Amino acid sequence: MEVSDEALLAGVAGGDADAMAAFVRRHQARVFGMALSVVGVPAVAEEVAQEAFVRAWRHAGNYDPRRARASTWLLTITRNVAIDVLRVRRELATEPVAMAELLMAPSNDGDRVDDADDVTAALRELPKDQAVAVVLSVHFGLTAREIGERQHVPLGTAKTRIRTGLTRLRGILEVRHD
């Protein structure tokens, strides 16, 4: 039987190198994919992904399985590292709106892990502007002001798109999970 992520992280927190190796092997494609989608350059994405795993190792003792799945906890770390890199290395400027649309596109369906099916389908049920605003906020860490600038709408409209989009997603996912 496969060892759960939670058990692996408990081992990592205790300094178990084998547990860490297994954790890296299991999640490296997902972490590298997330990093690449944010920074856009494979060599930089590799640095980001490595740093994300190092931080996961450093903070494994803080992971609380009651609050988040290990995969989303790890992807949150990866997202934060990637955004930090973008803030410093402005030459890596990506086009996040185009990337947000691409992330939800059916052409990427084959590269997603199965547990992403529900949320991907739910995002496609939203009006496109709301779905993009949510992905820009979650995935790229853009503030409402930055999203408004990129979507060419006032700040208030951007805030409403994020809130309404997230709230509708919640409703859709609750129905799917029931």
Q: In terms of C-beta density within 10 A (0-12 exposed, 13-18 middle, 19 or more buried), how is residue 131 classed?
A: buried
Question: Is the four-CA dihedral 79, 85, 135, 171 of positive or negative sign?
Answer: positive
- Distance in Å, CB of 3 to other proteins, minimum: 17
> DSSP states of 43-94 as a string?
HHHHHHHHHHHHHHHHHGGG--TTTS-HHHHHHHHHHHHHHHHHHH-GGG--
* Footprint on residues 85-144 left by other proteins (CB under 8 A): 87-88, 103-104, 108, 111-113, 115-116, 118-120, 123, 134-135, 137-139, 141-144
Helix (H, G, I), strand (E, B), or coil: what is residue 141? coil
Q: Site residues for other proteins, window 20-79 (CB under 8 A)? A: 20-21, 24-25, 28-30, 32-34, 36-37, 42, 45-46, 49-50, 53-54, 57-59, 61-62, 67-69, 71-72, 75-77, 79
Shortest gap between Cβ of 108 and other proteins (angstroms)? 4
Q: Which two tokens stand for residue 75?
A: 């992807």
From CA 33, how far away is CA 75, in angstroms rounded? 10
Interface with other proteins (CB under 8 A), residue total 70
Alpha-carbon distance of 113 to 168, in angstroms, equals: 23
Binding region for other proteins (CB under 8 A): 13, 17, 20-21, 24-25, 28-30, 32-34, 36-37, 42, 45-46, 49-50, 53-54, 57-59, 61-62, 67-69, 71-72, 75-77, 79-80, 83-84, 87-88, 103-104, 108, 111-113, 115-116, 118-120, 123, 134-135, 137-139, 141-144, 159-160, 162-163, 166-167, 169-170, 173
